[in-house]
Amino acid sequence: MSETGADRHVVIIGASLAGTRTAQGLRTHGHTGRITLIGAEDELPYDRPPLSKELLTSDWSDESVAGVRLVTQAELDDLDIDLRLGVAATGLDLDTRTVDLADGTGVAYDVLVIATGAGARPSPWNPPSGVLQLRTLADSRAIAERLALQEPVVVVGGGFIGTEIAAAAIGFGCAVTVVDPVAEPMTRLVGAEIAGALVELHRDNGAVTRFGVGVTDIRGEAGDLTVVLDDGSELRASTAIVGIGSVANTGWLEDSSLTIANGVVTDPYLRAIGTEGVYAIGDVARWPHPGHGTDIRAEHWTNASDQARYVATAITQGVSAPFDSADYVWSDQYAWKVHSVGRRDAAGTSIVVGDLDADGRVAVIHADADGIACGAVTVNWVRALNQVRRLLAAGRPAADIVDELGLRAA
Ligand SMILES: Cc1cc2nc3c(=O)[nH]c(=O)nc-3n(C[C@H](O)[C@H](O)[C@H](O)COP(=O)(O)OP(=O)(O)OC[C@H]3O[C@@H](n4cnc5c(N)ncnc54)[C@H](O)[C@@H]3O)c2cc1C
């Protein structure tokens, strides 16, 4: 299902997880032609999950920062990957097969991989200072510097990233309030069975939650902010961190004739619609997910990594099957390890196994309307997670998982 030819010039735009893993995968699969990896950030490729977790709370030594790099310059040299950093792609001409760059040059491709990811959804509230967002290494460092002051913090957004930052802020010794207009914001991510327990976890650790109320304004400046809520109340903070989702980085493609709709739209083989020799992968791609029966844009590490591997194979060897996602995502919430795999079926059922209070672990197994396992969320229970992944792949009934775990459903 794809053109092959080991001597073609593959240009990859976006030098982060998806882009870097594609470049490495091409060489693993024997691609001998040129590989050019172009990134807007002036940083060797690095991993993002640690930015809200271990790196955020680290000592920020050279060693800590080196630990989040996805690759070294020496490894890139060995693989003969031409990495160009600090230069953004600004346009794409599909007729001449050329990408325009911010430095005024252009780069011609035989095959193009779009891996420009996503950016933090911009904060609607922008006082002169004190409001921060998290997407990059520099953002994480700036947040760590503010948290080290141990002054009051308001986190706007109760999703995974917001709550991970809140947990880090508590660890620094800050007074923390998390605000979200949704009453149980993590329900969308982990389901109602576990979302409530996560809220309790944050409260038990000392975070104040203001859920079900939105922010209408943030005034003042760093060190003296007022966060105004839509119930009329006001919160004082030294720093506000706004984590309200992400937006696909597609601005540079606006004048191309690619189909852009909340991401670069692709076919089931991750090939951009409306042209040839162009793939889109990772957080920027929106593709028809076979399990969901609709187009989705995933914002998960494993998806970006798996899509990179798939496209590297497609370019070098061709692929016969459409891309299928494991739908695997994780989050660290204080000492809890939360994992989600597969999906929840609105027409199906869920079985709760274990008890967080009694056992310190729980699994919620999702079945489709026919009782076949289609997903699960686990907390502190890696064995259950692995079991589910195996049974999901085998298309087994959800009840089998409960039996195999040797536990009675709660
Ligand atoms: C703080 C944080 C914590 C996370 N934690 C988890 C987690 O626990 N579990 C999980 O599953 N996922 C997590 N994620 C999500 C995961 O990191 C992403 O899914 C993954 O980074 C996507 O990789 P990507 O390469 O597609 O895009 P990105 O990582 O967004 O990289 C895209 C790159 O392209 C560059 N770029 C953008 N536009 C241009 C342009 N025009 N020209 C050139 N370069 C450009 C960007 O600068 C960036 O370097 C987290 C994300 C963040 C931000």
Measured in whole angstroms, the distance separating CA 20 from the mean position of its chain's CA atoms is 15
Residue 260 β-bridge partners: 264
Residue 39 in contact with residue 69, Cβ under 8 Å? no
* H or E, element range at 279: strand 278-280
Substitution candidate for ligand 1 out of 38, 48, 114, 186 with most atoms within 8 A of CB: 48
Q: To test the ligand 1 pocket, which listed residue (137, 249, 305, 337) has its Cβ within 8 A of the most ligand atoms?
A: 249
**Angstrom distances, CA of residue 383 to CA of 309, 374, 379, 390:** 26, 17, 11, 11
Atom number of ligand 1 nearest to Cα 51: 1
241, β-bridge pairs = 132, 155
CA dihedral 263, 266, 268, 271 (to 10 degrees): -130
pLDDT of residue 3: 53
Contact 198, 186 (CB under 8 A): yes
The architecture in CATH of the region 10-119+247-316 reads 3-Layer(bba) Sandwich (3.50)
Q: How far is Cα 179 from Cα 324, in angstroms, rounded to an integer?
A: 35
Give the number of the atom of ligand 1 that is nearest the alpha carbon of residue 330: 9
Q: Does domain 335-405 have CATH number 3.40.47.10?
A: no
115 C-alpha to center of ligand 1: Å?
9
Pairing relation of β-strands 81-85 and 215-221? unpaired
CATH classification of 122-244, choosing from 3.40.50.300, 3.30.70.600, 3.50.50.60, 3.40.50.720? 3.50.50.60
* Ligand 1: residue whose CA is nearest its atom 20: 301
Give φ, ψ of 125 to 5 degrees: -115, 120
410 residues of the chain, pLDDT tens digit each: 445 677 899 999 999 999 999 999 999 999 999 999 999 999 999 999 999 999 999 999 999 999 999 999 999 999 999 999 999 999 999 999 999 999 999 999 999 999 999 999 999 999 999 999 999 999 999 999 999 999 999 999 999 999 999 999 999 999 999 999 998 888 888 988 899 899 999 999 999 999 999 999 999 999 999 999 999 999 999 999 999 999 999 999 999 999 999 999 999 999 999 899 999 999 999 999 988 889 999 999 999 999 999 999 999 999 999 999 889 999 999 999 999 999 888 889 998 988 888 889 999 999 999 999 889 999 999 888 888 888 888 888 888 877 877 654 44
Query: Of ligand 1's atoms, which has the minimum distance to the CA of residue 298?
Result: 19
Nearest residue (by CA) to ligand 1, atom 4, is 49
Q: What is the pLDDT of residue 11?
A: 98
101 phi/psi in degrees, rounded to 5? -115, 160
233: amino acid identity, one letter: S
- Identify the H or E element spanning 379: strand 373-379
Q: How far does the centroid of ligand 1 lie from the alpha carbon of residue 48, in Å?
A: 6
Phi-psi region of 395 (alpha: psi -120 to 50; beta: other; left: phi over 0): left
Ligand 1 nearest atom to the CA of residue 14, by list position: 34
Atom 50 of ligand 1: nearest residue by CA position = 49
| Fold agreement between 10-119+247-316 and 122-244 | yes
Tell me which of 36, 137, 283 to substitute to probe ligand 1's pocket, judged by most ligand atoms within 8 Å of the beta carbon: 283
Would you say the CB of residue 222 lies under 6 angstroms from ligand 1?
no
Each domain of the chain, given as residue ranges in start order, spans 10-119+247-316, 122-244, 335-405
What DSSP string describes 151-207?
Answer: --EEEE--SHHHHHHHHHHHHHT--EEEEESSSSTTHHHH-HHHHHHHHHHHHHTT-
- The one-letter code for the residue type at 204 is D
* Distance from Cα 135 to the centre of ligand 1, integer Å: 7
In Å, how far from its chain's centre is CA 103?
29
Instruction: Give pLDDT, residue 291.
Output: 80
**Ligand 1 lined by 46 (C-beta under 6 Å):** no
Closest atom of ligand 1 to 282 CA is 26
